[in-house]
Amino acid sequence: MQKIWNKDLIRILISILLFILALFIKISPYHLILLILSYIIISYEIYWKAFKNIKKKEIFDENFLMILATIGAFFIGSYEEAVMVMLLFEIGEYFSDLAVENSKRSITKLMDLRSDTVNLKTEDKIEVVDIKKVKEKDIFVVKPGEKIPLDGIIIDGKSSVDTSSLTGESIPRTVRKEDQVLSGYVNKDSVLTIKATSVYETSTATRIIEMIENSNDKKTDTEKFITKFAKIYTPVVVLGAILLVIIPVLLGQEFELWFQRSLVFLVTSCPCALVISVPLSYFCGIGKSSQEGILIKGSTVLDQLNSLKTLVFDKTGTITEGVFEVTKITPIKLTEEELLEIAAYSEVYSTHPIAKSIQKKYQKKIDEKKITNYKEISGMGISCTYQNEKILIGNKKLMDQEKIKVKEIDSMGTVIYLSKNKEYQGYIEISDKVKKNSYRLTEELKALGDYHTIILSGDNEQIVKKVAKDVKIDDYYSSLLPIDKVEKIKELKKEGTLLFVGDGINDAPAMKTADIGVAMGGIGSDATIEASNMVLMRDNIVKIAEAIKIAKKTQNKVRFNISFALSVKFVILLLGIFGISTIWMAVFADVGVTFLAILNALLIMRK
């Protein structure tokens, strides 16, 4: 825990010192003066908070209850008890704040991702400029020990980078020319020259920080209930304490006896344990997820994970590696080299893994001026003009739509068909492989509960069927367009809470439709990450099972803290009505229970 020595701790220690002196100095009026000084020092912030809340017309809160209880104690001559109640309350609050700050650390350390300046490279010099002035394609330099300020492509240099702030991976990664790097990485060894692929507002670091800053805006039904409950509960408690004095006195009972019991009632009834521990439990759940490389956009996601019934996966880049290799080139009227060249030029602007595999196979430099009228046809392929000839490249659906006759190829890989001027020219086969983590995910899900797992893919049935069988996924749907995926998700949501995992821009609509959208952060598109509720920063799909475990643990802590706090308070209140509870028991029911609930919530963060 950091920054333990602060003004609150100093204030508590001074108050304790004065209280101890008062216990030893029994001479009047010094004894009373020391107790009053101790009380003023320890309680002035509570009075100030209560005053501010009264100005906002929020009279009844825990501060108001503590003031009422301690003034009452002074009124009946229980000076030591009055000071001690405030002392213990403030000590409890201090440890609560310290615990909250400690639980935030795994999240707020991500705020250090962002840089304020960039070493911008111009024609003749390197100039330090404000990060907000840098545009895409500007060239900047990152020295050893500096954070990479913007996403970009390395154009010169080789170094190792620390990616732990983004991915949680402690082992440095070696990067070299043409590798992509993200803002937030720390350059370890050598100077890197980088071409910016983002601006400040769209950089990975900025987007992550915005997700974290907004995560507390989406509160769960439990948190909303506790807030509303406290607003109604506190005035009811005050009324109950007043009646606890008035009714017995009207019946001829001793005023001082029942006044003291009403003070016990007030202190015991303080809702601190619920108001603090419930939001803290969810915050710890989000913090623990962050430690595991899972960014969760709000505590509502944790509740939804607990009611999860169906998990739906995109195939390429999610269940499979998304690292494709050209395994076969079959021309009809062209040579293999000519077919590959046209395909490579046609796919030059695409970021899809299939396009990258074709460009990698071609290896030659591409003159982009030869490509015009480029258009991506969602879920089908690409249309463009290459050397004044109209090219269509994509799946069989694209060929069927354009009424180009092709023979369907029976292959375990992905088949890309190509036509020139509406005349079929041949096909290219591309293969992908299943991620090792995909096998582990299905094993862990089976251990966690009875979940329905499904693949939705645009690939042909034979490929999708084999992947589903290998990974032991329950069902699959193939040859789907993005709009088909959306409709299928709407249908599947009738089973219960549905989670969808995807990585490409085509997955954004499906992700928005699902109850929980999960983006593969490292390779996922900006649109997908924006549409998601959860981002897996390490692209490790097993982390979905980890998120479910954290959600279950969080829910258990919330339920235990609520039942524990209410049970203890009920027992002490009942004993208080019969005169058995003391003011010290009341303090335990408030401060003690709050502190124990906080410690229980912090167990979520334990490794």
Q: What is the pLDDT of residues 548-589, one digit of tens each?
A: 999 999 999 999 988 998 898 888 888 877 878 877 787 778
- pLDDT higher than threshold 60 for residue 108: no
Q: Which long-range contacts (CB under 8 A, 24 or more apart) does 38-44 make?
A: 38/83, 38/87, 39/15, 39/70, 39/74, 39/82, 39/83, 39/86, 41/11, 41/14, 41/15, 42/11, 42/12, 42/15, 42/83, 42/86, 42/87, 42/90, 43/67, 43/70, 43/86, 43/90
- For the domain that residue 407 is a member of, what is the CATH number? 3.40.1110.10
Same structural domain, 486 and 351: no
Q: Residue 130 falls within a domain, yes or no?
A: no
Q: Are residues 104 and 249 in the same domain?
A: yes
Tell me: do 163 and 30 sit in the same domain: no
Instruction: Name the one residue in this structure whose structure tokens are 């609509």.
Output: 509
pLDDT at 76 (0 to 100):
74
pLDDT at 218: 54
User: Tokens 């080299």 identify what position?
Assistant: 337
Contacts with 262 (C-beta within 8 Å, 6 or more apart), sequence order = 72, 241, 242, 244, 245
Average pLDDT over residues 399-410: 88
Indicate the pLDDT class of residue 227, thresholds 50, 70 and 90. low
Instruction: Give the pLDDT mean for 32-49.
Output: 90
pLDDT of residue 2: 45
**Is the same domain home to 332 and 427?**
yes
The reply to whether 425 and 329 lie within a common domain is yes
**Domain end among 532, 561, 584:** 532
Co-location of 160 and 95 in the same domain? no
Q: Is residue 100 part of a domain?
A: yes
The string of pLDDT tens digits covering residues 350-400 is 877 788 889 889 988 888 889 999 998 877 899 999 989 999 999 988 999
Region 97-107: mean pLDDT is: 59
Please determine, for residue 111, whether its predicted confidence score (pLDDT) is greater than 50. Answer: no
pLDDT at 114: 64
Residues 254 and 335 in one domain: no
Q: How far is CA 123 from CA 67, 126, 141, 508, 525, in A?
A: 68, 8, 13, 40, 33
Residues of the chain above pLDDT 90, percent: 28
The proportion of the chain whose per-residue pLDDT surpasses 70, expressed as a percent, equals: 87
Is residue 140 within 8 A of residue 119, CB to CB? The reply is yes
Cα–Cα distance measured from residue 14 to residue 461, given in angstroms and rounded to the nearest whole number = 75
CA dist 158 to 176, 183, 413, Å?
4, 17, 35
Of residues 165 and 2, more confidently modeled: 165
> Which of 379, 409, 431 finishes a domain?
431
Residue 588 forms part of a structural domain: yes
Extract long-range pairs of 407-410: CB within 8 Å, 24+ residues apart.
410/462
Residues 6 or more apart whose Cβ sits within 8 Å of residue 373 = 383, 384, 385, 390
Quick one: which of 235, 98, 54 has its CA closest to 594? 98
Q: Specify the higher pLDDT residue, 220 or 479.
A: 479
Which has more confidence, 379 or 524? 379
Report, in angstroms and rounded to the nearest whole number, the Rg of the chain calculated over CA atoms: 32
Which backbone phi and psi does 118 adopt, to 5 degrees? Answer: -135, 140
Extract the tokens encoding 213.
């800053």
- Whether residue 348 is contained in a domain is answered as yes
d(CA 67, CA 46): 8
Whether residue 97 is predicted with pLDDT greater than 80 in this model: the reply is no
What DSSP designation does 455 have? E
For residues 531, 536, 542, 544, the Cα torsion angle rounded to the nearest 10 degrees is: -50
State the alpha helices, DSSP H only, in 215-271: 221-250, 255-269
State the pLDDT at residue 87.
84
Name the band, by pLDDT with cuts 50, 70 and 90, for residue 224: low
The CATH code of the domain that includes 463 is: 3.40.50.1000
Where does a domain end: 151, 166, 198?
Answer: 198
- The 10 Å CB-count burial string (b at 16+, else e) for 237-264 is bbeebeebbeebeeeeeeeeebbbbbbb
| pLDDT (0 to 100) of residue 267 | 75
Please give the average per-residue pLDDT across 7-18, as a whole number: 90
Q: What is the mean pLDDT of residues 334-341?
A: 93
The 8-class DSSP code of residue 591 comes to I
Q: Which residue segment(s) compose the domain that 55 sits in?
A: 7-108+216-283+552-605
Mean pLDDT for all residues in the chain: 83
Answer whether residue 541 is part of any domain.
Answer: no
Distance CA 553, CA 372 (A): 55
20 confidence band (pLDDT: 50, 70, 90): very high
The whole-number pLDDT of residue 188 equals 87
The pLDDT value recorded for residue 374 is 92
User: Which residues lie below 8 Å from residue 484, measured CB to CB, with a gap of 6+?
Assistant: 477
The per-residue pLDDT for range 445-477, each reduced to its tens digit, is 999 989 999 999 887 788 888 889 989 999 999
pLDDT at site 96: 66
Assess whether 8 carries a catalytic annotation.
no
Phi, psi of 484 (to 5 degrees): -65, -40
Give the residue, 336 or 592, on which the prediction is more confident: 336
315 touches 457 (CB < 8 A): yes
Say if residue 506 is in the same domain as residue 592.
Answer: no
Indicate the DSSP class of residue 551.
H
Q: In what order do the strands lie in the sheet with 294-296?
A: 294-296, 534-536, 516-520, 497-502, 308-314, 452-456, 475-477
> Of 314, 459, 503, 515, which residue is the catalytic one?
314
pLDDT at 543: 92
Is residue 177 located within the same domain as residue 270? no
Q: Is the peptide bond before 29 cis (omega within 30 degrees of 0)?
A: yes
Give the CATH number, domain containing residue 184.
2.70.150.10
Summarize pLDDT for 143-196 with one digit per residue, the tens. Answer: 988 888 888 999 999 998 887 666 555 567 888 998 888 887 889 888 999 999
User: Are 279 and 306 part of one and the same domain?
Assistant: no
In a domain, 179, yes or no: yes
CA 35 to centroid of chain Cα atoms: 47
- Give the CA count within 13 Å in the CB-facing half-sphere of 373: 10
Instruction: Tell whether 427 and 331 lie within a shared domain.
Output: yes
Q: Which helix (H) or strand (E) holds 11?
A: helix 7-24
Residue 583 forms part of a structural domain: yes
Confidence of residue 16 (pLDDT cuts 50, 70, 90): very high
> What average pLDDT does this structure show over 223-247?
76
What pLDDT score was predicted for residue 290?
79
Q: Is residue 120 part of a domain?
A: no
Same domain, 270 and 355: no
Provide the 3-class DSSP secondary structure of residue 102.
Answer: helix
Asked whether the predicted pLDDT for residue 497 surpasses 90, the reply is yes
Q: How many domains does the chain have?
A: 4
Average pLDDT over residues 496-510: 82
Pick the more confident residue, 233 or 48: 48
